[in-house]
Amino acid sequence: MSDSMIDCDVCVIGGGLAGLSAALRAAQDGAIAVVLERAQETDYLCNTRLTGGAFHVCLSDIQSDAAELERKILSATEGAAHPGLAHAVAQDARRAVKWLQSHGVRFIKGGAEPHHNFVLSPPSLQRVGSDWKGRGGDVLLRTLEQRLAGLGGQLLRGHRARSLIVKEGRCVGVAGDAGAVPFDVSARHVVIADGGFQCDEELVGRSISPAPGRLLQRNARSGFGDGVRMAGEAGARLSDLVGFYGHVLNRNAMTDDRLWPLPWMDNVATSAVVVDAAGRRFADEGRGGVYLANRIAALQDPLSAFVVFDQPLWDGPGTSRFLPPNPHMENRGGTVLRADSVQALAQAMGVDTAALAATVAAYNDALDKDELPSLNPSRTPYPYRPMPIRTAPFHAVPVCAGITYTMGGVAIDEWGRAMREDGSPYPGLYAVGSASGGLEGGASIGYVGGLAKAATTGMRAGEHIGQSYRRSA
């Protein structure tokens, strides 16, 4: 028996954007909501505080036609996304932003790219990482917590959920501890919103990387997968746990915090070749930086990959977007190898000279003949423009996979309801944001957008929970 009992209508596990959105939306309809946050600090770290702040769906403006956004979600995931969930996010991402605005959350146009049309204010796009206080994500969480308190809800810091309480097939609460003091929560509805499992090496090792300790934690170091484990132990169905959102970073970022979360190598890698310790390509660079980060993570040694390119590519894509690798990577201490020939570059990299020369020659030849799909592995020629590697000096950057959040989790429907193994809703149990699965991932590692997913699934779960309180009001 616990030393303390907490009674509420809705218990939310996790105080990030998804969790606070679910709690606040349910509280609007009269539910008494309690949010359990594992961290003790007033300004507890989570990925929401470190965010760059861009709300988008598949790198598209959330104001785009909903049918087109839905098509992009299904295309990005190659049909792996739950159809109802894909439809819901496409339809309601814009409404979720409007809802946040109604609670005092401010947005600005963050840049010329369509997916920067709604960026949290004050902006953080070039300041993410350690410089987060008073920026978009921090202000967002402070605002939502204040609004929740105004509706009678509360956020309990230093309260870690350990297990779900299930009676007669329904989730009716949570058991946990606040330091050395155990507690139980009695609730009609429980929402798992504690983020992904990117910091749990056992879970990451199951499906993402054979060497999870050799991935860069490009995140708040707060996603331990407690919610996924609790849900699985209680009999809820888990989605495929493959896939994460992340980027390709300089390998020195593993030991030098100046090199994360930016600059990344994505824009260079998607126009060049990425090779392993043998000097051979192992992934389709044309699928994008998120896909490449996942393929690097899947290597037996995730710290063995290099991006290989030439001077025009470094002067072109290498200087694009905000805080680009050229010149910021070297300015922050990142390694960039250079040589006057591909053979000399291979020696500097410590890879087989003949193998790297053959890899670059085959790539250039396929590019000249418009036969990139014939390469092994195949190279998609779009949407990222491949560029030849011919002009000295030749460059190589040793890279690592930076993991921000995992894409799999508790399987949910369009309202955030957790699923049983038979596909029916699990009574009383919801999951939202990065703790949920079924929207992103799949074999294509389809990326939809963490903030839009968090706000939309959180808001919709809160609405679904609130129905019973609206009826009884």
Task: Please work out, in degrees rounded to the nearest 5, the angle formed at the alpha carbon of residue 22 by the alpha carbons of 19 and 28.
Answer: 135
Averaged pLDDT, 433-441: 97
Answer yes or no: is pLDDT of 77 > 50.
yes
pLDDT band per the 50, 70, 90 thresholds, residue 296: very high
CA distances from 98 to 18, 103, 176, 342, 465 (A): 15, 9, 35, 52, 20
Cis peptide before 83 (omega within 30 of 0): no
Under 8 Å between Cβ of 197 and 410: no
Q: Establish how many alpha carbons lie within 13 A of residue 407's alpha carbon, considering only the half-sphere containing its beta carbon.
A: 26
Q: Residue type for 462, please?
A: G
pLDDT band per the 50, 70, 90 thresholds, residue 472: low
For 159-177, the pLDDT digits (tens) are 999 999 999 999 999 999 9
Under 8 Å between Cβ of 274 and 281: yes
Backbone angles phi, psi at 156, to 5 degrees: -100, 110
Question: What six digits make up the tokens of 224?
Answer: 């331990």
Averaged pLDDT, 393-409: 98
User: Taking each helix axis from N to C terminus, what angle separates 353-368 and 342-349, rounded to the nearest 10 degrees?
Assistant: 130
Task: Give residue 231's Cα distance to chain centre.
Answer: 20
Question: What six digits make up the tokens of 456?
Answer: 């939309």
3-class state of residue 264 by DSSP: strand
* Cα(441)–Cα(291) distance, integer angstroms: 10
* Cα(146)–Cα(42) distance, integer angstroms: 13
Question: What six digits make up the tokens of 322?
Answer: 């905000």
For 178-210, the pLDDT digits (tens) are 999 999 999 999 999 999 999 999 999 999 999
The pLDDT value recorded for residue 126 is 57
Size of the chain in residues: 473
* Cα(155)–Cα(453) distance, integer angstroms: 22
Strand order in the sheet with 160-167: 4-7, 181-186, 170-178, 160-167
The pLDDT value recorded for residue 469 is 86
Domains of the chain by range and CATH? 4-241+407-472 (3.50.50.60), 244-403 (3.90.700.10)
For 241-295, the pLDDT digits (tens) are 999 999 999 999 999 999 999 999 999 999 999 999 999 999 999 999 999 999 9
Q: Establish how many alpha carbons lie within 13 A of residue 213's alpha carbon, considering only the half-sphere containing its beta carbon.
A: 0
Q: How many helices (H) and strands (E) does the chain have?
A: 14, 20
For 12-63, the pLDDT digits (tens) are 999 999 999 999 999 999 999 999 999 999 999 999 999 999 999 999 999 9
The pLDDT value recorded for residue 212 is 98
* Cα(302)–Cα(308) distance, integer angstroms: 16
3-class state of residue 16 by DSSP: coil
DSSP string, 321-349: SSS-HHHHHHHTT---EEESSHHHHHHHH
Instruction: Name the one residue in this structure whose structure tokens are 């994505």.
Output: 266
Averaged pLDDT, 378-406: 97
* Cα(382)–Cα(289) distance, integer angstroms: 13
For 310-320, the pLDDT digits (tens) are 999 999 999 99
Q: Do the strands 107-108 and 119-120 form a parallel or antiparallel pair, or are they unpaired?
A: antiparallel
Averaged pLDDT, 399-410: 98
Backbone angles phi, psi at 237, to 5 degrees: -85, 140
Averaged pLDDT, 72-83: 96
What is the biggest distance separating any 2 CA atoms in the chain, rounded to whole angstroms? 75
Averaged pLDDT, 213-235: 97
Could you tell me what percent of the chain has a pLDDT over 70? 97
Q: pTM above 0.85? A: yes
Under 8 Å between Cβ of 132 and 140: no
* Cα(47)–Cα(442) distance, integer angstroms: 22
Under 8 Å between Cβ of 264 and 340: no
Residue 308: strand pairing partners: 273, 396
